[in-house]
Structure formats: structure tokens, C-alpha cells
Amino acid sequence: MKSNDHADLSRQVADLALRLGKGEIYALGQLFDLTAPRMLRFAQTLTRNREDAEDALQAAMIRLAQNPKRFGSANHPWPYFMQVLRNETLKLIGKRRPAQALTQQVPLPIEDPADAEFAECRHQIKQAIEHLPPEQAEVVVLKIWEGMTFAEIAVVLKESPNTAASRYRYALSKLSRSLERVAEDLLYE
């Protein structure tokens, strides 16, 4: 996501948060329409399961509907909403799979390439992301696909910006090492 797109999304979410905080309940539906694909991608990064991600998103939307004034008064509504979703997702994981770690499948948040020659490359990238620790995978999703700053990611994770940046650097380093062969294959085709 480009920086400009992220700023526009943040402004739209902030506007809807203000409207929701003022009692305009239909703003909740507009918020869902605007953010659902992104929110599902993030929740699925944590749950490793589409159905659980949908349940977590529904729980987050209910949470916002129950306390719209708090959402409306948040300093940074978009990261706040992501934080609510993350909290609901972690609660859901704890209830459904208390003994199971987050080690299953991470979705690759890019569209399928039309060209079949990239299928193996896609598979290797997906495997590399799946092998990242969940804390690193979620930072990659928030940074690369959501275009968030480390300060915004820190709000979502309830960590410091330095922690978010460190997780991102570690993730990129691991991805770089594990995808070195894929990059070479692409360069020499």
C-alpha cells in the first residue's frame, strides 16, 4: 500500500470513527465495507484460519458498536481498530486452541498471478512467510500490505515502535535468506 493510500484510508477511518462516536450507527457498516478485506487479512495472519478470522472481525465490530464514543475519540482510529481486532483475535485463539501455537498457515496477501510460471515462486514465498514467527509475520503484514508506520504498528501491538521495527528487520532478514534462490531464479529467467 502506498503512503498516500494509507493516509487516505486513515482519514476515512478517522471520519467514520467520529461519525460513529456521534451516534451515526450506519457509519459502522461503512467502516466494515472500507476495512473488511484488510482486517480479515490481518486476523488470518494470526489465526491461520479464515473462519476464525471472520469471527474475530465480527467480535471487533461488536466491540466498536458497544463503545462508539471511545472509538470516536481515539487519537489514531485506524491503528486503534487494528488493535481491537488483534485483541479479539488473540482472545478467540485462546478460547478455541489454548494449547496450540500459531504455527499453521499464513495467507499470502497478494493476488494470484495470471502467469503459471510464477506458481512455484508464489509457493516458495508463501512457505517463507509461514515459517516466520507469528509476531514477525503480523508486523510484515501491517508494514507491507497495510502501509502502517512503526508508530502505528506499535499502537496495534501494544509494543514500542523499536520493538515493531526490530521484528520487521528480523522478518525481512529471514525472508531474504529463505528467498535468495527464488530471487536468483527470477533474475536469470
Mean pLDDT of 69-76: 92
Fold annotation for 110-189: Arc Repressor Mutant, subunit A (1.10.10)
The structure's pTM equals 0.68
- Inter-helix orientation angle 77-96/26-47, to 10°: 50
Q: How far is the C-alpha of 25 from the C-alpha of 98, rounded, in Å?
A: 35
* Residue corresponding to grid cell 478485506: 37
Q: How far is the C-alpha of 16 from the C-alpha of 28, rounded, in Å?
A: 7
Domains 1-98 and 110-189 share a fold: no
- The structural domains of the chain, with segments of one domain joined by +, span 1-98, 110-189
Give pLDDT tens digits for 74-106. 999 999 999 999 999 999 888 876 444 444 444
| Among 127, 24, 34, CA closest to 78 | 34
CB-CB contact of 120 with 179 (8 Å): no
Give pLDDT tens digits for 113-156. 445 556 777 677 777 877 888 889 889 888 887 888 899 999 99
Q: How far is the C-alpha of 43 from the C-alpha of 46, rounded, in Å?
A: 5
| Among 97, 123, 101, 99, CA closest to 110 | 123
* Residue corresponding to grid cell 495470471: 114
Residue 129's H or E segment, with its range, is helix 119-130
Q: How far is the C-alpha of 141 from the C-alpha of 41, rounded, in Å?
A: 8
CB-CB contact of 168 with 143 (8 Å): yes
Instruction: Answer whether residue 69 shows pLDDT above 50.
Output: yes
CATH of domain 1-98: 1.10.1740.10
